[in-house]
Amino acid sequence: MPFCLFISCNLQKKLKAMRRSGNKGELAANQCESLLEVIQRKGPMANEVFSKRTKNGEYRINNCVKYDLGHGYRLVTIKNGRSLFVPYIGTHDEIDMWLDRHRYDEFDADNPGYVSSKMVVTPNHSSERPNEAGQVDTLLEDPYEEQLLAKIDDNILKNIFPGLFQKQQN
């Protein structure tokens, strides 16, 4: 499905400043660029991207995801419909302050502060199922749940719910 990626115009300036700040900043800037490249090629749910998410998530802005770039640096993305915005990169403390200041911002495609690029995302897991009339409905599911469901097989379910599988065999 077509997907638009919107990158903040200030992101390149911030990456350049991080590179000048020293070795740790340069490593984080390189990590950010490689992460954005994978998002453009494979989409935001690719394993390489998904594994970089921070453990605690983000609650101040809806559909906001933070990525750990290492050495105390983070990248913020915000999903709005079929658009993914990349508004800010910085240290953990800078990200925290940015999120507090921008929690009520609206992220839409008409914002002149972002540069857009088209990308094509091919989902790994189809969430389409035929309904009673034979038409296909797209189920809106949590991407994290979809990622987990893709990794579950019968052996895992048998270990978790042994009583249910014993009753089926009888």
| Per-residue pLDDT reduced to its tens digit, 146-156 | 777 777 887 88
- Report the pLDDT value the prediction gives residue 127, as an integer from 0 to 100: 40
**Does residue 113 sit in the same domain as residue 144?**
no
| Cβ atoms < 10 Å from Cβ of 11 | 19
- pLDDT band, very low/low/confident/very high, at 41 (cuts 50, 70, 90): confident
DSSP E strands, 12-169: 64-70, 73-80, 83-91, 114-120, 128-130, 136-138
**Does residue 89 sit in the same domain as residue 30?**
yes
pTM comes to 0.67
**Does residue 133 sit in the same domain as residue 159?**
yes
**Does residue 90 sit in the same domain as residue 16?**
yes
Count of the separate structural domains present in the chain: 2
- Report the pLDDT value the prediction gives residue 86, as an integer from 0 to 100: 93
pLDDT digits (tens, 9 = 90+) for 99-139: 999 999 888 888 888 887 655 554 554 444 444 444 444 44
Averaging pLDDT over each range in 17-21, 37-41, 57-61, 142-146, which range is the top one?
A: 17-21
**Does residue 138 sit in the same domain as residue 116?**
no
Domain that holds residue 24: 2-120
**Does residue 15 sit in the same domain as residue 43?**
yes
